[in-house]
Amino acid sequence: MPVAKIPSAFFVHPSAGISRLDTVQLAAIYSGQISNWKEVGGMDIRIRVVRREDADSTLTTLRANMPGWKNLEITERSKTAVSTQEAVESVRLTDGAIGFGPYSKILDIGTTVLEIDGHHPSQPGYPSTGELAYVYRPEGLPNDVSKFIAFSRAGEAAEIIRSYGALPAAN
């Protein structure tokens, strides 16, 4: 049962001077074809790509959903972060850096979260999201678990999900 959609957000160091890209530009940056922010309307500063390891769930989601990412060869000139926290900190501390990870509002502190193809990660229509879901057998569920599942589908839970930057699954 789907509960929430978690966007795969892209974020940059504020020195990049941009707040939006399209999917073609994004793939060109991560492949190394675009190497300076001025090439996409930003500041004249070298792009420093921060990526995640191949088995990372956000990278897997991007490869499955983001146009141009299925077989994208990420530039060898990238830094591999071994955790979301390391990716975020690398971008926060490095002029010109770009990274990605699951969207949460904490990314708004010290980075610029990018709109992709005109959509912020918190908006419907964003080009790459992963889904959180419950997997269970409805028969024999304890009463408190049944109540929690029912709560997670209600309006109050939807507001809580939105408050953390995710999108509630359609009821």
Note the pLDDT of residue 166. Answer: 85
Q: What is the CATH number of the domain that holds 51?
A: 3.40.190.10
Tell me what the mean pLDDT of segment 66-74 comes to.
96
Q: Show the domain range for 82.
A: 8-120
Residue 161 resides in a domain: no
pLDDT in tens, 10-30: 999 999 999 999 999 999 999
In a domain, 38, yes or no: yes
pLDDT digits (tens, 9 = 90+) for 83-126: 999 999 999 999 999 999 999 888 999 999 999 999 999 888 89
151-165 b/e with 16+ CB inside 10 Å = b?
A: ebeeeebbeebeeeb
**Any domain includes 68:** yes
Question: How far is C-alpha 16 from the geometric centre of its chain's CA atoms?
Answer: 18
Cα–Cα distance measured from residue 26 to residue 116, given in angstroms and rounded to the nearest whole number: 8
Residue 42 included in any domain: yes
Domain count, the chain: 1
Q: Would residue 131 count as lying in a domain?
A: no
Higher-confidence residue: 97 or 131? Answer: 97
Rounded CA-CA distance 104/147 in Å is 26
> Would you say residue 36 lies in a domain?
yes
Q: Is the pLDDT score of 171 beyond 60?
A: no
125: closest CA among 137, 115, 112?
A: 115
Q: Which residue has the higher pLDDT, 129 or 99?
A: 99
Q: Which amino acid is at 27?
A: A
Percent of the chain with pLDDT over 90: 75
Specify the residue for token string 């889904």.
131
The Cβ-side half-sphere exposure at 145, using a 13 Å CA radius, reads 9
Q: How far is CA 98 from CA 2, 4, 94, in A?
A: 30, 25, 9
Work out the burial of residue 58: count CB atoms within 10 Å of its CB; fewer than 13 is exposed, 13-18 middle, 19 or more buried: buried
This prediction has a pTM of 0.87
Residue 3, in any domain of the structure: no
Helical pair 143-152 and 155-163, crossing angle rounded to 10 deg: 70
